[in-house]
Amino acid sequence: MGAGSEAIEEREFPAAMVAAAPDRPIASSERVLVIQPRRSWSALEFRDLFEARELFFVLAGRDISVRYKQTALGAAWAILQPLMTMLIFTVLFGKIAKLPSDGIPYPIFAYAGLLPWTFFANAVTNSSNSLVGSANLISKVYFPRMVIPAAAVGAGLVDFAVASAILLVMMLYYGIWPSFSIVMLVPLVVLLSITSLAAGLWLSALNVKYRDVRYAVPFLIQIGMYLTPIVYPISVIPMKYRWLLALNPVSGTIQGFRSALLHLPFDWSALLLSAVIAVGFLVFAAYSFKSMEREFADVI
């Protein structure tokens, strides 16, 4: 079976049930190991993914080391990207356009939205290109292919943690102290990771077959940033149009981040809708990924 095939199953049969090779007879007492495709088809294959957990950490560590290898600033780039964007947004939208920020100082309002968005954007970009970047590995050996885009998303969590340190410093500077609601950050990070993984799985599979996906992803992310309440609060959107914004699962998650950090009320309906859409998208992406996985080794 080729390296690009789906998960395999090893089964033992008595020698009498297996045809002998032309150049070698099989003894009647001998047992033969036959490798064949699994009869049951599962998109997620939890057992295979769990068994490949060490590979996940190896690939995630590789992505982190390669990203900052031979760079002058190293991991500081994880801080500079959202920090510089926040400064530009503060001048353009906070000072010049004078957009409201729900009573929160605009710099920390913008950074609290840019932090999860930057993680999402980088995770989707890196995971969508991960299969093409691992062509040599995919064509040589079988392993659950979902591990590759999943590792790209996992590596982004390191950048997210590093960039979060600046947010804590800003909160102390503006006299905003964390409350008990900060515990909501854990499920919110999980929800954001699920959304990122769903988009990464789907786009990475499409990118193997249609290479122009890598050009479309940055364009879609740029549009998505302005369709997400990052530089503006959701309160500026007329009530009759807010349901359209709620269809973006990142929108409710970012609102949740601000609520957990900046003592704002939670919009539980938006969070619930984001969770339902994210999980549904993940299931769709996983099945789409598996339906295209057979062709990866041949097309890539």
User: Which residue's entry shows tokens 């088809």?
Assistant: 41
CA distances from residue 168 to 8, 108, 162 in whole angstroms, order as listed? 48, 10, 11
Is pLDDT above 90 for 43?
no
pLDDT for the residue numbered 185: 93
Q: What is the pLDDT of residue 186?
A: 94
**pTM, full prediction:** 0.81
Per-residue burial over 270-291, b if 16 or more Cβ lie within 10 Å, else e, is bbebbbebbeebbeebbbbbbe
Q: Is the pLDDT of residue 147 over 60?
A: yes
The pLDDT of residue 191 is: 96
Mean pLDDT to the nearest integer, 16-30:
51
pLDDT at res. 136: 81
Structural domain spans, the chain: 1-41, 42-299
Q: Is 70 exceeded by the pLDDT of residue 197?
A: yes
Average pLDDT over residues 216-236: 91
Supply the mean pLDDT for the chain: 82
Q: At residue 267, does pLDDT exceed 60?
A: yes
Report the chain's terminal Cα–Cα distance, integer Å: 17
Please state the three-class secondary structure of the chain as a single string: CCCCCCCEEEEEEEHHHCCCECCECCCCCCEEEEEEECCCCCCCCHHHHHHCHHHHHHHHHHHHHHHHCCCCCHHHHHHHHHHHHHHHHHHHHHHHCCCCCCCCCHHHHHHHHHHHHHHHHHHHHHHHCHHHHCHHHHCCCCCCCCHHHHHHHHHHHHHHHHHHHHHHHHHHHCCCCCCHHHHHHHHHHHHHHHHHHHHHHHHHHHHHHCCCHHHHHHHHHHHHHHCCCCCCCHHHCCHHHHHHHHCCHHHHHHHHHHHHHHCCCCCHHHHHHHHHHHHHHHHHHHHHHHHHHCCHHHHC
Higher-pLDDT residue of 57, 43: 57
pLDDT band, very low/low/confident/very high, at 30 (cuts 50, 70, 90): low
